[in-house]
Amino acid sequence: MKVLIGPNVMGLEKGIPELQKAHPTIDFVHCADRGAVAAAIADADVYMGHLSREVFLAARKLQWVQSPSSGVNYFLAIPELKDGPVILTGARGTHAASVAESAMAMILAITRGIVDSVQAQPQHKWVGSVRQKLLELTDLKLGIIGLGAIGKALAKRAYAFDMHVTAVDMFPTNKPDYVHELWGLDRQDELLADSDIVVVTIPWTAEVQGMIGAEQIALMKPSAMLVGISRGGIIDQKALAAALREKRIASAALDVFEPEPLPADSELWDIENLLIAPHIAGGTQYEGKYLLEIFGENLAKFVVGEFPLRNQINKQLGF
C-alpha cells in the first residue's frame, strides 16, 4: 500500500517516521512539488493533501482522500470524487479553537476600538474619541449559526466573557451548559433579530449558499455586527456591502470570501466598517499535529477495514 502526502504548509511529512513505525509495510511518500503530484498519485492508495480534478483523475488506485481542511467543498466540486467510491475524510475539529479565537479577536478588535487605533497609528493620530463608542461584551447577545465544533468552541469562549449565547443548528440536540438556548434552523430569523453579534460558523453545502442575504440582514439590529468565518458564499457579499454602507448594521468582519483570494477591485476593501482577514482563522501551531492525529487513527482503521473513518464525509450531504 502506498500513502502519498502532498504539498502542504503544515509540515505533515514530519509525521512519516511515526506513521512508518506503526505501519512498517506501508510505503509513505511525500511529494513537495505541486507539478509532480499527478505522477506521484498514479499508484497511491491513500492521499493526504489538497488536489485538483486533474490530479484526482491521474490516480488509478486511490481509495481514500484525507482533506487537510475542515471544509471539503473544494473536494466535492470534483464530480468524479463526489459521485465515485473514493472515501473522503475531513479535518473537522482540528481548527475549532483557532477559528473560535479568531472570531473573538475580530469581535474584540471592533468592540474595543483596536481597528480604529491601528488605522490611526500610521497617521500619528490620537483617537481618544473612539472611547465613546466602545462596547463591553458583558450581557451582549451572541447568535451562532451552526453549532458544530467551531460553534461550540466559540460559544465556550463567549460564555467566559459573560455573553448570552444562542445558537441555531440543523441538529439542535445535546445543548452544552455554556449555550443558553439552542434552536433549530427554522428559528434563524429570530436569532438574527435578537442578537447583538451574529457569527456564521455553519459548514458550506449547496443548501446554505447565500442563506444570509439581504432579507436576513434586514432583520438585524442597526447596532449589530455580522461575522463570517466558515466559508465564503454563505453570506451574500453584495447584500452585506449595501447594508454596511447604508449603516443598516453597524459592522462586520469576514475571514472567508467568494471568490478567494478576494479580488483587488472588490468593493469590500473600501468599506470602513468591515474588517477583512485573508482566510487565516484556522492557523495554529498545532495544525499539523491535530491532522496527523486524525490521519493516524484513520489509517489504523483503514488497513483493517474498520469503517466509517473519523470525520468520514457523506459526499451527497456535503458533511
Q: Which residues are known catalytic residues?
A: 231, 260, 279
For the chain, give the number of residues: 319
| Whole-number Å distance between alpha carbons of 59 and 56 | 5
Q: Which three cell numbers stand for residue 315?
A: 459526499
The cell numbers describing 239, all together, are: 447584500
Strand order in the sheet with 27-30: 27-30, 2-5, 46-48, 64-66, 87-89
Task: Assign 59 to helix, strand or coil.
Answer: coil
How do 197-200 and 181-184 pair as beta strands? unpaired
Residues forming a β-bridge with 212: 235
Grid coordinates of 126: 490620537
Helix axes 149-160, 96-111, angle to 10 degrees: 40
